[in-house]
Chains A and B, each alone.
Chain A
Amino acid sequence: MNSGLGLIVWIIAYPFVSFSLGVLLGGYGRKLTARIQRRVGPSWIQPFYDVVKLMSKKTNVSHGYMHDVAMMMLVGGTLLTMYFVPVPGFHYFSQFGDYIVIMYIMLVPPLGMALGVGQTANPNGSIGIARALQMLAGYEVTFVLTFIGFAMKAGTTSMYDLMMLQQSGGVATWGIVTNPLLGIAALFALQGMMNEKPFEVIVAPHEIATGPMTEMGGKYLGMMFIQHLINLVVELTIYMNLFLGGALNWFEYIVKLFTLFTLVLVVNAVYGRFRTDSALRFFWKLPLPMAALGVIFIMWNGK
């Protein structure tokens, strides 16, 4: 499938596939949260309705050039990341870029958001962005460290190779089984990466009115929603490929994706949000030492 016509079809269809997956994930998330809260909850494809509604609004508010470009950086950066993350049947771009590339591209959306929100000149937005960048120092360091440890052991940084390595021996070779310390530390980082509670202070509707999204309305918010939904898939897939053995067929992929997301959501539903300083303190006290220990452990054993 990774050549010729199949490849072109994949490149064109992939954004739509991951958007659809994102819609299903988002809808599932809202439904599951509602069930935990003893509610019926919205439709299973509610995010789709939301996006259609937002994109059909008559938007006449623009705060300037950067505000518009930021939306492209958001969606473009996320789509680019998406192409480099291998999924069943499509890993063509993995040969051109390993996890280090992904790491770089993944910083484009937050950067775009920071620039765009900066131009809206709303203090709530700026505070939200400041918090987002601070939180980055918490989860990003942890996640990168876990990856470094993992890559050192496997001797490769290519996400596809790492995935195939884990697939070679069933569950016993999954990253989370072979390196439980790294796997669990990365799970915390994933929670922060996805902005789910307890690391949700960036949007905190109670004091800063959804932070970066304060001034976004209509099509701008629609773009942010699309980015958010695709990002859900991308981030969960990255974790899956690194620690849960990835997936070779779509059935396995979807089962793992939803299971992982369920875990994230359940934690999200029963915790409040940390303050920024507490969140950083938490990251540097528990997951980061855990990841560092894991890396040291690997270095010790490796040589």
Chain B
Amino acid sequence: MSSIVTANNGKDIMPGANAPENREYNMFIGPNHPGIEGNFALKLTVEGDTILKAKTEAGFLHRGFEKLMEERLFIQNIAIVCRICVPDPDPNEENYARAIESIAGIEVPRRAQFIRVLVLELSRIASHLFTFGGHAGTIGLYTMPNWSISDRDRVLDLFEELTGGRVYHIFNMPGGVRRDLPEGFKDRVRKVMDYIEERLAEYDDLFFNNKILLNRAIGIGVLPQDKALEWGATGPDLRAAGFAHDVRKDDPYEVYNELDFEIPTERDSDAYSRLMVRRREIVQSINIVRQVLERMPEGSVWNKQPNPLKWRVPAGDAYVRTESSKGEYAYYMVSDGGVRPYRVHVRGASVTHGVHILEHLLTGARIEDASQIMFSLDACPPEVDR
């Protein structure tokens, strides 16, 4: 860029107009940003259309869950843990229940384990469908959210029948699950799975093969594999970089090691790869759900636990990990033998890619791509804020 110069003696009419500090300006995206899964702000330093520096700002959704859990009984916390990640609540319940089971040595009936896997996978499908809608929204394709989010409602209807709640299920209890499957539920699940499988083909036509998406998402927000490992990416974002790590395979919990499924990976690690990993995961999840329905044994679904108001968990600690739809989701729980947890640390799946990786990927990107990069990482701000 040449500086602004007059004919008069070659003097600047606007001295310093082209100094870096005057060419840059600050731009804020958020916190009222349409389409993110929660409030989250980006402070961008921009020159022209290019982002020079990005800083995330979180905390708009902070409720102090870790503190609240310390002030409540073990049984009460079951109702609040699911609120930590809104679009994909079940890994929280799973983690919380499994942490207690691991400390106290509680057995879980096999049927309950299968039902947990069923719920987790349905939740993953619902969460990914939600993400597709959001990602399509960032490129302005508003037909896709209308389709995928109302298809997600079919999964939510299943949840409502099984657990009584559409979004929050409060279903996993230490020692099993709260209710057995209702009459004829398996058939209805199969029907919904068939429906979603059919719809995926329509999504391909509308969205995944859409010329505009290919134009905008390929080559955007590239996170090379070595950087992904160094910066601590997990879950689909790591698999999109071609690194096949999945907690369900590598640190198996419940009955995942008995089930037959693949870990989809991609090579290019751009926004499109991350989207496609999620699209393929839906196919795998449908496959897992079908296997679970087929192999589910009969039996009880809950090993009865003592009086919940006086329920003590022996002293000890446990670190449990779950593969959520966003990545590695972990709880570190410490009990001192009382009626309340002594400490629960929630390691949200988005704490790495929602904060530092996002900041790195946004640097040098264009404003138009900022929200798409953010969405392709599928960061969930409530997990960061807790």
Contact = CB atoms under 8 A, between A and B. Distances in A.
Interface centre among B211, B212, B368 (most CB of A within 10 A): B368
A166 to B, nearest CB: 33
B215 interface: yes
Given A271-B212, A274-B212, A274-B215, A208 B140 contact: no
Interface residues of A, number: 25
Contact of A271 (B33, B34, B138, B210): B210
B146 A205 contact: no
Contact of B210 (A38, A207, A272): A272
B29 interface: yes
Contacts of A272: 136, 139-141, 210, 212-213, 216
A269 B370 contact: no
A198 B212 contact: yes
A168 interface: no
Contacts of A62: none
B367 A207 contact: yes
A275 B210 contact: no
Interface of B is mostly: helix
Given A269-B143, A278-B215, A206 B371 contact: yes
A197 B26 CA distance: 28
A275 B143 contact: no
A38 B150 contact: yes
Interface string A108-137: 000000000000000110010000000000
B148 to A, nearest CB: 11
B371 A127 contact: no
Nearest to B135: A272
Interface centre among A38, A273, A275, A276 (most CB of B within 10 A): A275
Nearest to A269: B143
Contacts of A201: 368
A206 B137 contact: yes
B16 to A, nearest CB: 20
Contacts of B34: 205-206
Contacts of B27: 123-124, 127
Given A123-B27, A274-B212, A278-B216, A207 B370 contact: yes
B206 interface: yes
Interface in A274-294: 274-276, 278
Interface string A201-222: 1001111100000000000000
A270 B143 contact: yes
B373 to A, nearest CB: 11
B242 interface: no
Interface size class of B (residues with CB under 8 A): 20 to 34
Contacts of B147: 37-38
Contacts of A278: 215-216
B35 interface: yes
A198 B140 CA distance: 8
Interface in B123-164: 136-143, 146-147, 150
B369 interface: yes
B291 to A, nearest CB: 31
B330 to A, nearest CB: 31
Contacts of A274: 212, 215-216
Nearest to A37: B146
B25 interface: yes
A275 B141 contact: no
A207 B146 contact: no
A250 to B, nearest CB: 33
A276 B49 CA distance: 10
A58 interface: no
A204 B212 contact: no
Contacts of A39: 146
A200 interface: yes
Contacts of B55: none
B366 interface: yes
A36 interface: yes
A273 B212 CA distance: 7
A280 to B, nearest CB: 12
A275 B216 contact: yes
Contacts of A204: 140, 368
Nearest to B206: A270
A204 to B, nearest CB: 7
Contacts of A270: 141, 143, 206, 210
A-B residue pairs, 9 tightest by C-beta: A272-B139, A37-B146, A273-B140, A272-B141, A272-B212, A275-B368, A272-B140, A206-B371, A206-B138
6 contacts: A123-B27, A197-B140, A207-B367, A271-B210, A272-B139, A275-B216
Given A198-B140, A201-B368, A204-B140, 4 more contacts: A36-B143, A204-B368, A206-B137, A208-B367
Interface of A: 36-39, 123-124, 127, 197-198, 200-201, 204-208, 269-276, 278
